[in-house]
Amino acid sequence: MIMFQNDYVEGAHPAVLKKLVDTNMEQSVGYGEDPYCEKARARIREAIGREDADVHFLVGGTQTNLTVISAALRPHQGALCAETGHIHVHETGSVEACGHKVLAMPGQEGKITAKQVNKAYESHWTDGAREHMVQPKLVYISHPTELGTLYTKQELMDLRNVCDACGLYLFLDGARLAYGLAADGTDVTLHDLAVLTDAFYIGGTKVGALFGECVVINHPAMKEDFRYLMKQKGGMLAKGRLLGLQFQAMFENDLYMEMGRHADRLAMKLKKGLLEKGYHFYIDSITNQQFVIVEDQKLQELEQQFVFNHEMRYDENHMVIRICTSWATKEENLEKLLAAF
Amino acid sequence: MIMFQNDYVEGAHPAVLKKLVDTNMEQSVGYGEDPYCEKARARIREAIGREDADVHFLVGGTQTNLTVISAALRPHQGALCAETGHIHVHETGSVEACGHKVLAMPGQEGKITAKQVNKAYESHWTDGAREHMVQPKLVYISHPTELGTLYTKQELMDLRNVCDACGLYLFLDGARLAYGLAADGTDVTLHDLAVLTDAFYIGGTKVGALFGECVVINHPAMKEDFRYLMKQKGGMLAKGRLLGLQFQAMFENDLYMEMGRHADRLAMKLKKGLLEKGYHFYIDSITNQQFVIVEDQKLQELEQQFVFNHEMRYDENHMVIRICTSWATKEENLEKLLAAF
Amino acid sequence: MIMFQNDYVEGAHPAVLKKLVDTNMEQSVGYGEDPYCEKARARIREAIGREDADVHFLVGGTQTNLTVISAALRPHQGALCAETGHIHVHETGSVEACGHKVLAMPGQEGKITAKQVNKAYESHWTDGAREHMVQPKLVYISHPTELGTLYTKQELMDLRNVCDACGLYLFLDGARLAYGLAADGTDVTLHDLAVLTDAFYIGGTKVGALFGECVVINHPAMKEDFRYLMKQKGGMLAKGRLLGLQFQAMFENDLYMEMGRHADRLAMKLKKGLLEKGYHFYIDSITNQQFVIVEDQKLQELEQQFVFNHEMRYDENHMVIRICTSWATKEENLEKLLAAF
Amino acid sequence: MIMFQNDYVEGAHPAVLKKLVDTNMEQSVGYGEDPYCEKARARIREAIGREDADVHFLVGGTQTNLTVISAALRPHQGALCAETGHIHVHETGSVEACGHKVLAMPGQEGKITAKQVNKAYESHWTDGAREHMVQPKLVYISHPTELGTLYTKQELMDLRNVCDACGLYLFLDGARLAYGLAADGTDVTLHDLAVLTDAFYIGGTKVGALFGECVVINHPAMKEDFRYLMKQKGGMLAKGRLLGLQFQAMFENDLYMEMGRHADRLAMKLKKGLLEKGYHFYIDSITNQQFVIVEDQKLQELEQQFVFNHEMRYDENHMVIRICTSWATKEENLEKLLAAF
């Protein structure tokens, strides 16, 4: 079986793994205070163009989201997000377990707009009974979204502006960031994110690391004591250097972007091929996640050889499946897949 | 100004207050273990027809909801409720502050159906990624709902059945219970609630008490150690007898139902009168909350004399207002209101 | 049986109750935004000599403590307190249920010192592994303490100074405040508390109210959005005026202090009497709580007529009991008690 | 510098790392449901001699402790542990952040006794005000303890018996388990732990893994839905196989015990050598952590070459330092250290 159901079925990019192997028997201090983490931090700060950012390494996405949101909010405050947002749907209520309501809003192909945020803010603050409601204080967006779509630079600037006007934090979940930044058609760069968000993270788990997410914090209030929260939430790795080493490798020789480009190129090849064969897509994505509408019998046939994610039933005899490429996808496997369709 | 915006603008029913005054200088043990609470418990058990129920007294509704829900759920479990449910909208995220997600579903005039609950359950348990989602474990309903509507006995039985089939708790918020039980047209009795729910509460704050809600717990798992949770959540009143005394008074001489009947009768009188005058209602309620569509200028005129709750804008020049009657509403004030319309 | 086990066995002071009765059928808006609460707030601000303080009314002590502490702390921060502190011992872990560790320190007769606070602070901030430990951020003291003792003005000034130097909040639990302020021998006034603490509360439940605590917040950071937290934690009373009315009555004609003086005078009479009879005290208290060492057989005899709190076993055949006087204690009952000893 | 300050300064045992490298580009499903985790689970079950145990893999110790404790307790329940217990001292209040109080008791060289547990239980359940206190429900012990000491089999059986008698869960933190099991002088085996505890974990981070802890759950109530909690608390690794692979390697060819024996042998060599040189130990440990009393000037001299953990000041001119050996400690380095002393 060839697996296309997600972008974390393999281990790490060889260059990343090599770093771990090469340094394996070295000794270093723990908890992210080692020289490798320091170097990785320096490299990340350079890559994002912001010397004043705080850079932390955590193990996984759910942990990262809950720690950042905990660091930002007081007990009566909540996080605005799209109804498809990962924190709302697929993290077993981890934000609520930290005491905060996720304030879900209808998304447009996984995205929310500055206008929606403004409306939520206005509607809260003009309500005489607002003290009886959760106060919106943070905007959570994913880029790429859970549906593979991307914000434009203008959309992000609009969100930034509305957050500034309303005193809200803007937090961007970049679990698949490379696949967004490398997409042919995006105008959003890493520098933009560092300027436009209060915090964001650069996903490693889904882009070439064994595991690991790199949080960049720009807002002073969220920076304060962040490491205490990492420890409390179980997100401070004892052998922290493992994270530093991996991010160091990924931000060497343009590797992070290269991995993104590889996955996106194959995704576009798949898309083009399927469109030519007359297939329809549930959503128009230019990143590594492709949502294809497939007739049930055809799907059954394909699933003799390939594994996909079933997203949702499209109609009585069609299913929407998710096909993910990744840094690790072999071109020959993608060609086999195209041929099988 | 005559206030119609809610059902807690006055103090307590004179008979309730009298009980407090008469016993004021008596001495008793605290925390609900006094003879008055005992008597009130006995009376409540009799009224609901269930000797095995646990009966507790708490101060207010939000406190009651969060304590009951905390008692029922493990950390990864959530409460299904209507999008209009009080716990979802108007309790400042108190359930989330206890760690649990509120799983909101579209309501039909404030109500949810057994079918919806079943679908939510099925959709959770058939999802391969369910461990990444909050597990539905409790169904929260209000009766009357926040929109003044009532469940029928059949609807409650259906909810009971689906909860039994799915291993869910059924919890009924009866903040305005008297106004539901006394409504002309309901087929639901207090006995039914005691049979059909795992826990429910009999509202006092909105029905004649100075303050106080009476929780009835039928399910053994929710009974266990409930008083510890009351204390932890700040809901165990030191002079607990104040609650016992009030509920004793309210369940004497049919007072609780009488207060309900009074409010409902006046609400129906208002409804009939307004219908005759050609007014339209946003929702068809047979309880003490009436949602009337009023033209803006007329509203402005009425608000010289009366206070209402603005529920929502209906259209460019109409507002939906809520008019509440209560145990304390004077017939002459209602007549003044009708005349002013 | 005559009850001396605590100071909340009766209802409310007649003047307080009268206020409730007189206004019972008036209409007012809810949630503490009514004219009575406004007046009570004005009166409290006057009494404490601080116009800029925020004044809120809550129902009970546990609720008040958890709400104030929640308002002050971020998730990794904790509250320093004496090992005998109410939040550490007798609130069913309510502070922990809000996510915060109580950092208990040995007390000196229920009190902690500026020196101890400073040491806890220093020991945290000089520890290289401090991010692995809960950060002390708030100092919780009770006045009178759970053992009836009082801080001196100098001790409070020292605590204030150390809190200023260390960036800690100082929160004073005044559940029995009147009995502290009125004690013969204290040099601490209400004005002092308003100057020296970041927040404190004026207890009503144990001093003449049916229920109710009045929180005074001086620190701007703790003021922000406090009412959201009150609502979330279940501490915002619907008929908020009941609290305003009671505190209005208690701060009229010096009633609050008068109630304190009454209880303290009787406590001192008891103390003097028992000392003369050769009894020993477990602790030297000048407030309404007296801790007497009584031989078991004598205790059994006394308990035919009186109820006490058993504090702890003193030795094989002696018990330490707590005897409380209150605003409501009748002189004749105290005399009966003295005679029986 | 040669590091002896803890047992996680290196990466992974070569055999463990090899497993990761060899399988790196294979594809597998995520979240611990892959064949490697399955095999590792089977191997663990065999090693502990219990086919009915649930076996889960988490990333780190704090995460593991908080997840297990969350799975076991209701909101009003707490965890008994020694004052030196890791959850009480060095996890930034992670248990409290999940809502539970840690009920610390004085330890005897890091251990607590069945008698203490029984006393805590009795003292809770015989207290008339117990509902105002946190209910002890789980006993947390470390083995080896934070001071390097070990429970005897008899002590563990006594704890088991008292837990059975009192309805308490017994949870054993085995972050350094290999160093305990392999100690010359212990009579406790892995089989014993599987029989005597309700849950325990087999530490990987400190014993040869890159990272990873293996939780064994024996009690049915704690098993239920444990994976939901892992996900919610951020402890479910996407590429779960990384954990399975490592534990598979560690439980192959007796590697886990072999690593334990290596570290313990070197620790005993160090101990013997230092005793011969006239050094004193703060505590008598037979495991890999040795607590030596060193004169300040000598320490300064040693620290030119070696890194230790400063545990506490012993007296005016002596420090207690911790020296850790591990699976990775080179014999030559230990000899250098001994020579330097």
Beta carbons of B29 and C11 less than 8 Å apart: no
Gap between the Cα atoms of C290 and C337, Å rounded: 13
Of B89, B93, B102, the CB nearest to A76: B93
Suggest the residue from D5, D91, D207, D210 to mutate for an interface test with chain A (most A CBs closer than 10 A): D210
Query: For residue C120, which of C142, C141, C105 has the smallest C-alpha distance?
Result: C105
Gap between the Cα atoms of D159 and C312, Å rounded: 27
Beta carbons of B90 and A131 less than 8 Å apart: no
Gap between the Cα atoms of D147 and B327, Å rounded: 67
Beta carbons of C232 and A76 less than 8 Å apart: yes
Beta carbons of B96 and A96 less than 8 Å apart: yes
Q: Label the pairing between strands A135-142 and A199-203.
A: unpaired
Beta carbons of B231 and D75 less than 8 Å apart: no
Query: Is residue D51 packed enough to be buried (19+ CB in 10 Å), middle (13-18) or exposed (0-12)?
Result: exposed
Gap between the Cα atoms of C138 and C81, Å rounded: 9
Give residue D197's pLDDT. Answer: 98
> One-letter amino acid identity for C333?
N
Of C64, C210, C232, the CB nearest to B94: C232
Of B6, B20, B25, the CB nearest to C30: B6
Would you give per-residue pLDDT tens digits along chain D (341 residues)? 999 999 999 999 999 999 999 999 999 999 999 999 999 999 999 999 999 999 999 999 999 999 999 999 999 999 999 999 999 999 999 999 999 999 999 999 999 999 999 999 999 999 999 999 999 999 999 999 999 999 999 999 999 999 999 999 999 999 999 999 999 999 999 999 999 999 999 999 999 999 999 999 999 999 999 999 999 999 999 999 999 999 999 999 999 999 999 999 999 999 999 999 999 999 999 999 999 999 999 999 999 999 999 999 999 999 999 999 999 999 999 999 999 99
Would you give per-residue pLDDT tens digits along chain C (341 residues)? 999 999 999 999 999 999 999 999 999 999 999 999 999 999 999 999 999 999 999 999 999 999 999 999 999 999 999 999 999 999 999 999 999 999 999 999 999 999 999 999 999 999 999 999 999 999 999 999 999 999 999 999 999 999 999 999 999 999 999 999 999 999 999 999 999 999 999 999 999 999 999 999 999 999 999 999 999 999 999 999 999 999 999 999 999 999 999 999 999 999 999 999 999 999 999 999 999 999 999 999 999 999 999 999 999 999 999 999 999 999 999 999 999 99
Beta carbons of A74 and C225 less than 8 Å apart: yes
Provide the greatest CA pair distance for chain C: 62
CA atoms in the 13 A half-sphere facing the CB of C132: 18
Residues of D with CB under 8 A from a CB of C: 75-76, 78, 89-93, 96-102, 129, 131-134
Q: Which residues from chain A sit within 8 angstroms of residue C135, using beta carbons?
A: 225, 228
Where helices occur in B167-254 by DSSP H, the ranges are 177-181, 190-196, 220-223, 226-232, 241-250
Both tokens of C107, joined, read 């007390």
Gap between the Cα atoms of B123 and B118, Å rounded: 8
In this prediction, the residues of chain B whose per-residue pLDDT falls under 70 are none
Q: Label the pairing between strands C135-142 and C77-82.
A: parallel
Residues of C with CB under 8 A from a CB of A: 31, 70-71, 74-76, 98-99, 131-132, 135, 225, 227-232, 236
Beta carbons of B62 and C206 less than 8 Å apart: no
Chains A–D, number of C-beta pairs less than 8 Å apart? 154
Gap between the Cα atoms of D238 and A68, Å rounded: 19
Q: Which residues from chain C sit within 8 angstroms of residue A76, using beta carbons?
A: 225, 228-229, 231-232
Bond before B136 cis per omega within 30 degrees = no
Where along chain A do its domains lie? 14-250, 255-340
Beta carbons of C231 and A132 less than 8 Å apart: yes
Of B91, B96, B102, the CB nearest to A132: B91
ipTM > 0.90?
Answer: yes
Query: Is residue D316 packed enough to be buried (19+ CB in 10 Å), middle (13-18) or exposed (0-12)?
Result: exposed
Annotation: CATH topology of A255-340? Aspartate Aminotransferase, domain 1 (3.90.1150)
Beta carbons of D96 and C99 less than 8 Å apart: yes
Of B8, B10, B21, the CB nearest to C25: B10
The region, left, alpha or beta by phi > 0 then psi within -120 to 50, assigned to residue B259 is alpha
CB atoms within 10 A of CB C327: 26
Annotation: CATH topology of B2-7+255-340? Aspartate Aminotransferase, domain 1 (3.90.1150)
Gap between the Cα atoms of B165 and A286, Å rounded: 44
Both tokens of C249, joined, read 């009555």
Beta carbons of B238 and C8 less than 8 Å apart: yes
Chains C–D, number of C-beta pairs less than 8 Å apart? 54
The mean pLDDT value for A127-132 works out to 96
Gap between the Cα atoms of D138 and D117, Å rounded: 10
CA distance C42 to chain A (A): 22
Residue D242 main-chain phi, psi, to 5 deg: -55, -35
Q: Which residues from chain A sit within 8 angstroms of residue B78, using beta carbons?
A: 93, 96
Beta carbons of B132 and D231 less than 8 Å apart: yes
Q: Which chains touch D (3 or more CB pairs under 8 A)?
A: A, B, C
Gap between the Cα atoms of D216 and D170, Å rounded: 12
- B78: nearest CA in chain A? A93
Both tokens of B170, joined, read 């059924």
Gap between the Cα atoms of D110 and D258, Å rounded: 25
CA distance A112 to chain C (A): 26
Beta carbons of C234 and B66 less than 8 Å apart: yes
The one-character DSSP state at C91 is S
Beta carbons of A238 and D25 less than 8 Å apart: no
Beta strand residue intervals within chain C, DSSP E? 2-3, 54-58, 77-82, 102-105, 135-142, 169-173, 199-203, 213-217, 280-281, 289-295, 306-307, 309-315, 318-324
Give residue C234's pLDDT. Answer: 95
CB of D214 closer than 8 Å to CB of D16: no
Beta carbons of A227 and C131 less than 8 Å apart: yes
Domain boundaries C257-340, CATH class: alpha beta
Give residue D330's pLDDT. Answer: 98
Residues of A with CB under 8 A from a CB of C: 31, 70-71, 74-76, 98-99, 131-132, 135, 225, 227-232, 236
Give residue D225's pLDDT. Answer: 98
- B133: nearest CA in chain A? A92
Q: What is the pLDDT of residues A292-306, one digit of tens each?
A: 999 999 999 999 999
Bond before A144 cis per omega within 30 degrees = yes
- A88: nearest CA in chain B? B133
Question: Which CATH code fits C14-250?
Answer: 3.40.640.10
Spatial neighbors of A292 by CB under 8 A, at least 6 apart, are A274, A279, A280, A281, A282, A320, A321, A323
Beta carbons of D99 and C97 less than 8 Å apart: yes
Q: Which residues from chain D sit within 8 angstroms of residue C92, using beta carbons?
A: 76, 131-134
Q: What is the pTM of this model?
A: 0.97
> One-letter amino acid identity for A283?
I
Residue in the structure block whose two tokens are 């809770």: D124
Give residue A203's pLDDT. Answer: 98
Beta carbons of B89 and A133 less than 8 Å apart: yes
Give residue C334's pLDDT. Answer: 97
CA distance D129 to chain C (A): 8
CB of A48 closer than 8 Å to CB of A194: yes
Residue in the structure block whose two tokens are 């320091």: A38
Q: Which residues from chain D sit within 8 angstroms of residue C133, using beta carbons?
A: 89-90, 92
CA atoms in the 13 A half-sphere facing the CB of A67: 35
Q: Which residues from chain A sit within 8 angstroms of residue B96, using beta carbons?
A: 78, 96, 99-101, 134
Q: What's the Cα-to-Cα distance from A210 to each of A20, A203, A207, D25, rounded to whole Å?
A: 10, 11, 9, 11
Gap between the Cα atoms of D287 and A212, Å rounded: 32
Give residue C268's pLDDT. Answer: 98
Beta carbons of A134 and B102 less than 8 Å apart: no
Gap between the Cα atoms of D217 and C200, Å rounded: 46
> One-letter amino acid identity for B97?
A
Angle (CA) D175-D179-D181 rounded to 5° is 100
CA distance A224 to chain C (A): 10
Bond before A75 cis per omega within 30 degrees = no
Both tokens of C9, joined, read 């066995």
Beta carbons of D133 and C89 less than 8 Å apart: yes
Of A99, A132, A135, the CB nearest to C225: A135
CB of C171 closer than 8 Å to CB of C199: yes
